[in-house]
Amino acid sequence: MADQPGPIEAGGRTAVASYVVTMSADLAGMARRTGLDTRGYLLEMVRLEAESAKRQSNGPNSRR
C-alpha cells in the first residue's frame, strides 16, 4: 500500500479534502443504513469539515 501514490501526491491539500469529502459521505451513508447512527453523524461532521478545508484551499470566494 505504501508503494501506491495517494491523494497527497496527486494534488495536495485540495485533492485530499475532496477525497475525504467523498469517502466520509459514502461511509456516513453506509453507517446510517446499518443503524450506526452516531458513527454516521460523526462521519457527516468529518465531511463538513473537509468541505470547509476544500473551500479555504480554493480561496475565500469559492463555494465548491
Tens of pLDDT, residues 5-64: 554 555 688 899 999 999 999 999 999 999 999 999 999 999 999 999 999 877 655 454
Q: What is the pLDDT of residue 42?
A: 98
Which residue did the predictor score with more confidence, 9 or 1?
9
Report CA 10 to chain centroid distance, whole Å. Answer: 15
pTM (2 d.p.)? 0.72
Domain ranges of the chain: 11-55
CB under 8 Å to 19, separation ≥6 — which residues?
Answer: 7
Q: What is the pLDDT of residue 44?
A: 98
* Residue the block writes with cell 446510517: 32
Q: What is the pLDDT of residue 57?
A: 79
Q: What is the pLDDT of residue 56?
A: 87
